[in-house]
């Protein structure tokens, strides 16, 4: 899909009264052939847009499950160029945009212009750079803008409200709302104020808002979907993928796809209920 495919996706979903399901996977865990095989299966299972983590030795805000996946990938000496080559083969065939979750250290070391050019060439639609504050994105933002590559910014529960508005104004594609203070990981409980905080932010921006960190259960989907444009699910997927190093890959692929399908079904149920209520 083209680089502005994120905007197109959310326009379509809004028109249909649906919300996006965004699975996160780690590139190269357990290897890049598995990554290439997993992506289309998750599209078939109901994934609308994908966040692909670029392994990094010092991840930012990632909990133990995702950190372990990065370690597994790096132990196989995975290279950025190989990840982008794999995405270049897989992403254009997907009926869903792909964004990379990447440390700014990787982007900077690769070269800002070069990373954006290579990502664009690989069919990547946007970048999430968690260790790059919005106030310090002055070099990367114009390069992304010129390439029509979305630069997706993060808002956390501790972000002051005036700053959250400024971040929304400088973001493109969608706004990533971090549900909890702390690191990624599956949680049984999410903060009670989360729905109100996202609801407030929605009154301040027309940009789609996607919620991530801790989402792992259909119950989370039912609670958050009414105020979000999309839900990001990472650790619960990565934990299941980890079994691919010791079990038949076909089984793991099927199990991960079935798990994503349960969340997609929950999202569709929320959308159908909302449309019925509006009639």
Concerning whether 51 is annotated as a catalytic residue, the answer is yes
Query: Which tokens in the block code for residue 176?
Result: 């990533």
The single-letter DSSP state of residue 242 is G
112-121 helix and 80-90 helix, angle to the nearest 10 degrees = 30
Exactly one of 7, 29, 48, 62 is catalytic; which is it? 62
Phi, psi of 154 (to 5 degrees): -110, 140
- For 74, 107, 144, 231, 262, the CA distances from 117, given in Å and listed in that order, are 24, 11, 9, 28, 36
- In whole angstroms, give the CA distance from residue 92 to residue 164: 33
Element of type H or E holding 133: none
Catalytic residue among 29, 31, 48, 51: 51
Nearest to 101 by CA among 68, 133, 62, 137: 62
**Token pair of 234 as six digits:** 């990472």
Q: To 5 degrees, how large is the angle CA 48–CA 7–CA 187? A: 45
End-to-end Cα spacing for the chain: 34
Residues marked active site are found at 51, 62
């Amino acid at each position: 899909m083209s680089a502005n495919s994120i905007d197109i996706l959310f326009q379509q979903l809004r028109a249909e009264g649906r919300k996006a399901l965004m699975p996160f996977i780690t590139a190269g865990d357990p290897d890049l052939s598995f990554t290439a095989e997993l992506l289309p299966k998750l599209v078939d299972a109901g994934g609308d847009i994908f966040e692909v983590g670029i392994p990094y030795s010092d991840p930012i805000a990632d909990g133990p499950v995702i950190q372990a996946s990065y370690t597994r990938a790096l132990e196989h000496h995975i290279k950025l160029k190989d990840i982008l080559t794999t995405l270049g083969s897989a992403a254009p065939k997907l009926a869903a945009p792909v964004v990379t979750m990447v440390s700014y250290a990787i982007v900077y070391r690769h070269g800002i212009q070069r990373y954006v050019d290579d990502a664009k060439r690989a069919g990547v639609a946007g970048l999430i750079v968690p260790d790059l504050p919005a106030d310090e994105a002055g070099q990367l933002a114009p390069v992304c803008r010129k390439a029509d590559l979305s630069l997706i910014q993060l808002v956390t529960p501790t972000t002051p409200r005036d700053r959250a508005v400024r971040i929304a104004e400088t973001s493109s594609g969608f706004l990533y709302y971090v549900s909890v203070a702390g690191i990624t990981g599956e949680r049984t409980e999410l903060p009670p104020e989360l729905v109100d905080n996202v609801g407030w932010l929605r009154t301040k921006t027309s940009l789609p808002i996607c919620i991530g960190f801790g989402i792992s259960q259909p119950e989370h989907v039912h609670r958050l979907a009414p105020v979000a444009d999309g839900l990001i699910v990472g650790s619960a997927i990565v934990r299941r993928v980890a079994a691919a190093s010791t079990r038949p890959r076909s089984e793991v692929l099927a199990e991960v796809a079935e798990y994503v399908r349960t969340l997609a079904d929950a999202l569709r149920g929320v959308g159908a209920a909302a449309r019925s209520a509006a009639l």
